[in-house]
């Protein structure tokens, strides 16, 4: 599991993308949920924001972004709605559902536990 | 939590399924928006519009691929696949109508037949009588092992002794069947009645629907003029009126015989005190009204008509109860040495209820099981054949990159579709057969039962056939999928063998089918012969154009013998005066209605027999002209006339006369109706008549003796007519009512109807097994045809070479038909062995034919051979028309 995580760079397609229980997948899910928790936005805006907040470290290709968003929608974590943008175009806006909020809390907890575990492991090696 | 999710996800799934185009359009729009925004961004950074768009597209790594991945997230793809597979399967089935029709017919016969038969069987075996703790309820019977009497009722004294002494039974009640003429309103009618000792209803743990049951006081002599109605009678005769309680009915008790003494005058006025719940039924006393039985003191154990119903005490085993009964019966025999019973035994109420339908049901179950197996073999065969034909197609698709799982799933879809269509056809068939089956079922077994089509049975039958289909249709597909593709393609391209192993399996299946069909056919043949034998038995009288009707006079109203004689004489006179009547007579016991009472007798001038071998004779009391009306030929002497009535003269049967006076004229010789040592007059013989089979065609004619007497209360009228006898039924009833408006005539039927009823069970069995045999034959024919047709198509090349080398059409025909016959004969040999082992169990229901009857075996074998030849004929004929050149070019 750990090796998989390390070898995984976000934005690379992996075949087991559709496995929702996969932790790595969960990471992208968590990022998207977190972004959408701040405010509802459309897919393009999500991709911009993702690049922005991660400081270009996390490269999520647009080809991976949309399947991920659709998955979150089908799981019932986010809700889609067609709205007009500032420049008067119709776009699909995603917002978090009540379920999505709960899911995000869970994921964030898991992530916190995992990352602290990993950093402990990494520090151990340095000694 | 899950529920919360469904609120979000279910609308989405439904939308993906049913608004697919719109959802796809939205996906397009969403991605287009993204690309446009991204392109604008790149343009703003100074890229040319086309380069900006290329970069934007690049980020999407293949817009179609992304769309497909988005679509996969919808989780309803399998449904789309299924719809696609179903469409493909439906097209496949439509493109091969021969295969489809055969498969559907096979499934329908197997599933429909099984469902119908098992629905009836389950109703009979599982729908119990509505009594709590039914398995503890039994009927106790006396036995006389010497005479082979196994179901003897008890006398009041014996009943009281068992009731008071037995510890194995919690409660014992006595019941007896009696008959009443019910007069309430205009139409007098005969109702079956039951007399019960006070404890019966508490023993059965039955509470009445309305009113109450009998109190112990009502078991006292002279106080029992209260009546309980069954639910059926209450509805039929009293319109389900709750006000029936307290109503006074006239119920004339009509005993069949009055032995010796004058009948005691009893009151015929009864007060309704209750209505029994629906479904209340005692199998051995199928009464419509119940009255209390007076518990008068009696010390004799002779005769008796009380049947004992008992409830086993909790914790007592049947063996324990039997052991106690043995002890009690031995003691009883010491106490009452004149008793005719040397043993007592019991059967559960449930066993009595199922009664004589059990062997019929077992035979039907066995044969329907065989037909289902044959159907399974056929389905397996069909699917195997189909798989072979499509092997190349499958291999090709594997080469082109179809997933194996996907292929299997598609095969599965096809089998399922077939099963659904076949199952639906089977359901329709069962829906159509079941009511007919219920209507045909003779006897009382279905009287108080609701037969409904059984869903679980249907499901099981469908499951079994489906499982066979999967086993034979998919298992080989699995192995096929694993074999080397190149090999499969090569084998296919040769267009020849197609797996000899599979072909051998198909041949084995056909052999098994033929074998099982033979078993069913032999069974059907044996039962058909039984029926034919029974119908061909000479009954000893002429049953055509004969109307019969029973008139039972209440002794309460016709107390003097002379009154009854006068009544019957008047009825017969009036009957003779009706237009179209040739002769009319009456008897106490009509042939087919059972055996008349057997009475010890002594023939005049004969050496006295050993004391333990005193002969008995069946005695009937008949009217003048009875023999002419019945068409019983007079062998010697003359028929009873009006002058003989009441005078002591007898007519004896031919076998009795021949036995005692083989070389002399029996006319004028005397017969004493008593043991040799007892007193009594010798009655002169007036005539000798042909033997009559009194209790039906199964039983040998017993020695019979007739007395010219009309004084018994219950007589059956026999009226010989020139036209259809039933036309006279209304007139006969009118004549009786004219003499006494309270006197019902009942059981009005022609003699032919009665004879038909006697063989109703046998006819039912023969008919149904005939149907099954037909179905088995059809299925076997389809199976043989399938295998041979396939073999011919595989050997086209070989046949072409043979014909090119000079083989004639005749040779090819012989070769192909020979192949089919070889399979059939192998099946016949195996089937004959199986039938020999199985039909032995049928011997109890056979008559006039042995279970190893060679005619049945030979006929069944010949029929199957003929069918095999016929089934081979079409493919064989096709084979002879093979053009040698075309066949060789085929390579």
Q: pLDDT (tens digit, 9 = 90+) per residue, B375-406?
A: 888 888 887 777 766 776 777 777 776 666 77
Is 80 exceeded by the pLDDT of residue B614? yes
- At B859, list the tokens: 């006929």
| pLDDT for res B445 | 65
Q: How far apart are CA B586 and CA B568, in angstroms?
A: 8
Closest to B443 (Cα-Cα) out of B772, B763, B204:
B763
pLDDT number for residue B474: 66
Is residue A6 very low, low, confident or very high in pLDDT (cuts 50, 70, 90)? Answer: very low
The predicted pLDDT at position B23 comes to: 87
The residue of chain A nearest to residue B12, with distances taken between CA atoms, is A74
Rounded to 5 degrees, φ, ψ at B62 are 85, 100
| Chain B residue with Cα closest to A43 | B34
Contact between residue B516 and residue B831 where contact means Cβ atoms under 8 Å apart: yes
Query: Number of helices (H) and strands (E), helices first, in chain A?
Result: 5, 3
Count: domains in chain A: 1
**Comparing C-alpha atoms, which of B391, B385, B458, B464 is closest to residue B787?**
B385
- Answer whether B874's CB lies under 8 Å from B556's CB: no
A20 close contact with B: CB closer than 8 A: no
pLDDT tens per residue, range B11-45: 888 888 788 888 888 889 998 898 888 898 899 98
Cβ contact, residue pair B59, A61, below 8 Å:
yes
Residue B10 burial (C-beta neighbours within 10 Å; 0-12, 13-18, 19+): exposed
| Nearest neighbour of A99 by CB, restricted to B8, B72, B75 | B8
User: Residue B10: which of B77, B2, A70 has the closest Cα?
Assistant: B2
Average per-residue pLDDT for chain B: 85
CA distance, residue A125 to nearest chain B CA (Å):
37
Token pair 């389900």 in the structure block, residue = B240
Nearest to B8 among A90, A91, A97 (CB): A97
- CB-CB neighbours of B204 under 10 Å: 24
* Per-residue pLDDT at B486: 53
Q: What is the pLDDT of residues B599-611, one digit of tens each?
A: 888 888 888 888 7
Q: What is the pLDDT of residues B439-473, one digit of tens each?
A: 887 766 676 677 777 778 788 777 777 777 776 66
Determine the 3-state secondary structure of B553 from DSSP.
coil
**B203 has pLDDT over 60:** yes
- Cβ of B34 and A66 within 8 Å? yes
Q: What is the DSSP string of B191-214?
A: EEEEEE-TTHHHHHT---SEE---
The answer to whether A1 and A19 are in contact (CB under 8 A) is no
If phi over 0 gives left and psi between -120 and 50 gives alpha, with beta otherwise, what is residue B499?
left
List, in sequence order, every residue forming a beta bridge with B653; answer none if it has no partner. B689
Q: What is the pLDDT of residue A2?
A: 37
Total beta-carbon pairs less than 8 A apart between chain A and chain B: 77
What is the per-residue pLDDT for A22?
43
Neighbours of B436 (CB within 10 A): 10
pLDDT of residue B479: 55
The answer to whether A70 contacts B73, with C-beta atoms less than 8 Å apart, is yes
Least confident of B228-242, B401-415, B793-807, B847-861: B401-415
ipTM summary value: 0.79
Q: Is A71 on the interface with B (CB under 8 A)?
A: yes
Which residue bears the tokens 């015989």?
Answer: B257
Q: Which of B5, B66, B74 sits opposite A66 (nearest CB)?
A: B66
Judging contacts by C-beta atoms under 8 Å, the chain A residues touching residue B37 are 44
| pLDDT 10s digits, B658-675 | 988 988 898 988 898 888
Which helix (H) or strand (E) element contains residue B7? helix B2-18
**Cβ contact, residue pair B37, A98, below 8 Å:** no
Distance CA A126, CA A122 (A): 7
CA A34/CA A50 separation, integer angstroms: 10
Closest residue by Cα to residue B694 from B635, B750, B615, B617 = B617
Segments forming the whole domain that contains residue A109: 2-126
For residues B770 and B528, what is the distance between their CA atoms, to the nearest angstrom?
8
Between B114 and B688, the higher pLDDT residue: B688
Are the beta carbons of B825 and B876 closer than 8 angstroms? no
Query: Is the CA virtual torsion B271, B274, B277, B278 positive or negative?
Result: positive
pLDDT for A20 beyond 50: no
For residue B432, pLDDT beyond 80 = yes
pLDDT of A118 above 60: yes
Tokens matching residue B562:
């002379």
Helix (H) or strand (E) holding B656: helix B654-660
Residue B282: DSSP 8-state: B
Sign of the CA dihedral running B669, B672, B678, B680? negative
Taking the CB of residue A57, how many other CB atoms lie within 10 A of it?
A: 8
Band of the pLDDT at A21, cuts 50, 70, 90? very low
Instruction: Work out the pLDDT band at A3, boundaries 50, 70, 90.
Output: very low
Q: Whole-angstrom Cα distance, residue B292 to residue B280?
A: 17
pLDDT at A19: 36
Q: What is the mean pLDDT of residues B644-671?
A: 88
pLDDT more than 90, % of chain B: 32
Give the lowest-confidence range in B94-98, B535-539, B642-646, B700-704. B642-646
Residue B557, pLDDT above cutoff 90: no
Cα separations in angstroms, B534 against B20, B539, B845, B847, B849? 71, 10, 12, 7, 10
The mean per-residue pLDDT over the stretch B147-163 comes to: 86
Q: Report the CATH number at residue A16.
A: 1.10.10.10
pLDDT of residue A15: 41
Nearest to residue B845, comparing CAs of B593, B537, B534? B534
DSSP SS3 for B224 = coil
CA nearest to B595, candidates B141, B181, B148, B156: B148
Q: Is A92 on the interface with B (CB under 8 A)?
A: yes
Query: Nearest CB to B70: which of A66, A79, A97?
Result: A66
Residue B521 pLDDT exceeds 90: yes
Q: What is the pLDDT of residue B552?
A: 93
Please give the average per-residue pLDDT across A81-92, as a whole number.
86
* Contact criterion met (CB below 8 Å) for B762 and B565: no
Query: Searching chain A, which residue's CA lies closest to the CA of residue B35?
Result: A44
Q: Which of B4, B31, B37 sits opposite A66 (nearest CB)?
A: B31
Nearest Cα of chain A lies from the Cα of B405 at a distance, in angstroms, of 18
Say what the pLDDT of residue B402 is: 65
Å between B39 CA and nearest CA of chain A: 11
Q: Which residues of B touch A (CB under 8 A)?
A: 4-5, 7-9, 12-13, 26-27, 29-31, 33-34, 37-38, 59-62, 65-66, 69-70, 72-75
Neighbours of B186 (CB within 10 A): 6
Q: How far apart are the CA of B414 and the nearest CA of chain A, in angstroms?
A: 29
Nearest CA in chain A to B63: A63
Q: Do B34 and A73 touch (CB under 8 A)?
A: no
Q: Which string of b and e fits B821-842 if b means at least 16 CB within 10 Å?
A: bebbbbbbebbbebbeebbeeb
pLDDT at B843: 83
Only one residue has tokens 């070019």, namely B889
Residue of B293 and A26 predicted with greater confidence: B293
Q: Which of A47, A76, A91 is closest, CB to CB, to B9?
A: A76
Check the CA dihedral B93-B94-B98-B101 and report its sign.
Answer: positive
* Residues 6 or more apart in contact with residue B369 via CB below 8 angstroms: B114
For residue B590, the SS3 value is: coil
Paired with B154 in beta bridges are B306
Ranked by mean pLDDT, which of A98-107, B307-316, B438-447, B462-471 comes out on top?
Answer: B307-316
pLDDT in tens, B802-849: 888 888 888 888 888 888 899 999 999 999 999 998 888 888 888 888
């Amino acid at each position: 599991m750990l090796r998989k995580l390390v070898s995984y760079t976000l934005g690379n397609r992996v075949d087991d993308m559709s496995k929702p229980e996969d932790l790595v997948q969960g990471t992208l899910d968590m990022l998207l949920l977190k972004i959408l928790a701040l405010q509802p936005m459309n897919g393009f805006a999500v991709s911009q924001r993702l690049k922005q907040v991660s400081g270009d470290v996390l490269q999520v290709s647009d080809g991976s972004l949309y399947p991920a968003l659709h998955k979150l929608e089908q799981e019932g974590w986010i809700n889609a709605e067609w709205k007009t943008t500032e420049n008067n175009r119709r776009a699909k806006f995603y917002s978090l559902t009540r379920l999505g909020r709960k899911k995000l809390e869970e994921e964030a907890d898991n992530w916190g536990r995992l990352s602290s575990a990993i950093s402990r492991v990494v520090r151990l090696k340095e000694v | 939590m899950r529920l919360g999710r469904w609120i979000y996800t279910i609308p989405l799934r439904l939308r993906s399924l049913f608004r697919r185009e719109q959802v796809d359009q939205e996906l397009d729009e969403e991605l287009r928006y993204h690309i446009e925004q991204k392109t604008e961004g790149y343009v703003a950074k100074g890229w040319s519009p086309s380069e900006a768009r290329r970069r934007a597209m690049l980020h999407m790594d293949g817009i179609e691929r992304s769309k497909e991945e988005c679509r996969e997230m919808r989780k309803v793809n399998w449904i789309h696949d299924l719809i696609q597979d179903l469409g493909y399967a439906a097209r496949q089935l439509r493109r091969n109508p021969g295969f489809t029709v055969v498969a559907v017919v096979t499934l329908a016969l197997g599933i429909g037949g099984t469902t119908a038969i098992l629905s009836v069987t389950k109703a009979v075996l599982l729908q119990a009588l509505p009594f709590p703790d039914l398995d503890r309820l039994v009927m106790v019977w006396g036995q006389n092992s010497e005479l082979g009497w196994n179901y003897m009722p008890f006398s009041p004294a014996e009943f009281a002794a068992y009731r008071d002494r037995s510890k194995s039974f919690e409660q014992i009640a006595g019941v007896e069947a009696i008959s009443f003429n019910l007069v309430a309103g205009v139409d007098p009618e005969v109702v079956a009645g039951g007399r019960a000792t006070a404890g019966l209803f508490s023993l059965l743990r039955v509470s009445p629907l309305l009113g109450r049951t009998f109190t112990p006081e009502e078991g006292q002599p002279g106080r029992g003029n209260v009546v309980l109605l069954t639910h059926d009678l209450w509805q039929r005769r009293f319109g389900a009126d709750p006000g029936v309680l307290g109503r006074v009915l006239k119920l004339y008790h009509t005993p069949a015989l009055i032995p010796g003494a004058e009948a005691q005058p009893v009151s015929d006025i009864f007060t309704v005190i209750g209505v029994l719940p629906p479904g209340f039924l005692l199998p051995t006393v199928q009464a419509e009204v119940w009255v209390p039985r007076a518990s008068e003191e009696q010390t004799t154990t002779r005769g008796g008509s009380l049947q004992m119903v008992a409830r086993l005490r909790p914790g007592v085993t049947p063996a324990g109860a039997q052991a106690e009964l043995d002890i009690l019966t031995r003691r009883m025999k010491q106490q009452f040495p004149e008793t005719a019973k040397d043993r007592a035994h019991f059967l559960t109420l449930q066993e009595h209820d199922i009664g004589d339908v059990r062997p019929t049901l077992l035979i039907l179950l066995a044969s329907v099981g065989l037909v289902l197996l044959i159907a399974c073999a056929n389905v397996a065969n069909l699917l195997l054949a189909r798989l072979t034909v499509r092997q190349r197609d499958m291999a090709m698709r594997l080469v082109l990159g179809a997933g194996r799982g996907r292929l299997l799933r598609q095969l599965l879809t096809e089998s399922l579709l077939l099963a659904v269509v076949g199952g639906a056809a089977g359901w329709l068939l069962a829906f159509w057969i079941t009511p007919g089956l219920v209507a045909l079922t003779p006897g009382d077994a279905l009287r108080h039962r609701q037969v409904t089509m059984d869903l679980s049975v249907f499901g099981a039958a469908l499951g079994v056939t489906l499982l066979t289909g999967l086993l034979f249709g998919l298992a080989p597909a699995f192995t096929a999928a694993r074999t080397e593709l190149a090999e499969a393609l090569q084998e296919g391209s040769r267009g020849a063998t197609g797996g000899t192993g599979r072909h051998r399996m198909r041949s084995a299946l056909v052999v098994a089918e033929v074998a099982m069909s033979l078993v069913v056919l032999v069974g059907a043949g044996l039962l058909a012969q039984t029926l034919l034998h029974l119908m061909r038995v000479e009954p000893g009288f002429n049953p055509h154009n004969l109307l019969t009707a029973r008139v039972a006079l209440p002794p309460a109203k016709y107390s003097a013998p002379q009154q009854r004689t006068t009544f019957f004489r008047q009825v017969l006179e009036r009957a003779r005066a009706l237009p179209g009547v040739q002769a009319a007579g009456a008897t106490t016991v009509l042939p087919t209605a059972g055996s008349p009472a057997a009475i010890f007798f002594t023939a005049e001038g004969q050496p006295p027999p050993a004391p333990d071998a005193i002969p008995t004779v069946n005695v009937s009391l008949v009217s003048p002209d009875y023999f002419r009306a019945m068409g019983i030929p007079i062998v010697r002497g003359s028929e009873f006339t009006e002058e003989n009535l009441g005078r002591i003269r007898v007519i004896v049967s031919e076998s009795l006369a021949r036995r005692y006076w083989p070389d002399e004229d029996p006319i004028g010789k005397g017969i004493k109706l008593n043991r040799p040592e007892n007193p009594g007059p010798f009655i002169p013989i007036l005539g000798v008549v042909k033997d009559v089979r009194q209790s039906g065609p199964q039983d040998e004619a017993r020695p019979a003796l007739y007395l010219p007497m009309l004084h018994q209360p219950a007589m059956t009228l026999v009226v010989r007519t020139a036209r259809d006898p039933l036309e006279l039924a209304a007139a006969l009833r009118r004549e009786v009512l004219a003499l006494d408006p309270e006197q019902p005539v009942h059981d009005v039927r022609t003699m032919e109807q009665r004879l038909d009823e006697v063989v109703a069970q046998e006819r039912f069995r023969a008919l149904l097994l005939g149907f099954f045999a037909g179905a088995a034959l059809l299925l076997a024919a389809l199976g043989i045809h399938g295998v041979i047709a396939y073999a011919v198509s595989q050997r086209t090349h070989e046949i072409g070479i043979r014909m090119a080398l000079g083989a004639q059409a005749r040779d090819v025909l012989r070769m192909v038909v020979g192949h089919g016959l070889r399979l059939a004969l192998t099946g016949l040999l195996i089937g004959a062995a199986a039938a020999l082992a199985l039909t032995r169990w049928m011997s109890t229901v056979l008559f006039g034919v042995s279970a190893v009857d060679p005619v049945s075996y030979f006929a069944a074998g010949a029929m199957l051979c003929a069918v095999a030849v016929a089934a081979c004929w079409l493919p064989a004929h096709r084979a002879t028309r093979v053009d040698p050149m075309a066949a060789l070019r085929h390579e």
